[in-house]
Amino acid sequence: MYIIIVGAGDIGSQLLEIATRENNNVVVIEQDETVATRVAQDYDCLVLNRDATVMDALEEAGADQADAIISTTESDATNIMVMLLAQELEIPSQVSVVHNPEHMSLFRQLGVNVLENPEHLIAEYLYRAVQRPSIKDFMHLSGDAEIFEITVGESSPLAGRTLAAADKDGLIPDDVRVVAIERDHSVILPQGETEIQLGDLVTVFSTRGFEPKIIEVFVGEEDVSSQAAR
């Protein structure tokens, strides 16, 4: 892919490392001369020490060839201007970091793929890791909905049961779905006759997030109680 990355700060530099490692054709636009010089020395990519809110900077970066543009600056105003120019230049895929949640709707109205304030996401992730140590990973959706990974515990009422049996016995609420199971380094797409086993890493969708009663179904009452006591 031909990717234009705007901003080479904490987020942009991590993105740049991944993109170049995957052998993409990458161009970086960075306004800070010191940062631009460092990036040019450290990475095999074209670096422009330019202001990306100026049309000809994007044109110089090869906007007519680009498959995607990703704006990672710390300024929402800069990011939105870059996205507007990218649309005018008809760059197919437009992605941006958004720092202020109040600005999310503006970016979405433009059809931009957005990543909410990364610092906030990291803080929430760390808090959830302490609050619910049985949760291995999670993604917040609209409302209270969450997708999360959780390991089936010894006292889980699901262990040794098929999903059909668990559903029949009312163990899994109607607004909760098991969407994947990782077992022995392979991923299972579960069906009704799929049996849940002790130690399975289960990916769960819940419209109510990870309420204690939902967590209890997967790890067991004893494990939930021991976590709460920590």
Residue 118, pLDDT > 60, answer yes
Q: What span, in angstroms and rounded, lies between the C-alpha atoms of 145 and 140? A: 6
**Confidence band for 229, pLDDT divided at 50, 70 and 90:** very low
18-31 confidence digits (pLDDT tens): 999 999 999 999 99
Whole-model pTM? 0.66
64-73 confidence digits (pLDDT tens): 999 999 999 9
Half-sphere exposure of 140 toward its Cβ, with a 13 Å CA cutoff?
11
Residue 192, pLDDT > 70, answer yes
* Mean pLDDT of the region 99-114: 90
With 0-12 / 13-18 / 19 or more C-beta atoms within 10 angstroms meaning exposed / middle / buried, residue 213 is exposed
**Confidence band for 129, pLDDT divided at 50, 70 and 90:** low
* Mean pLDDT of the region 206-210: 84
Query: Do 36 and 47 form a contact (C-beta atoms < 8 A)?
Result: yes
Residue 77, pLDDT > 70, answer yes
Residue 105, pLDDT > 60, answer yes
Which domains are delineated in the chain? 2-115 (3.40.50.720), 121-229 (3.30.70.1450)
Looking only at the bridges linking them, the beta strands covering 176-183 and 186-188 are antiparallel
Q: What span, in angstroms and rounded, lies between the C-alpha atoms of 178 and 70? A: 33
Instruction: Give the E-state strand segments of 36-108 in sequence order.
Output: 46-48, 68-71, 93-98
Predicted confidence at residue 42, as pLDDT, reads: 93
Query: How remote is the C-alpha of 170 from its chain's centroid?
Result: 32
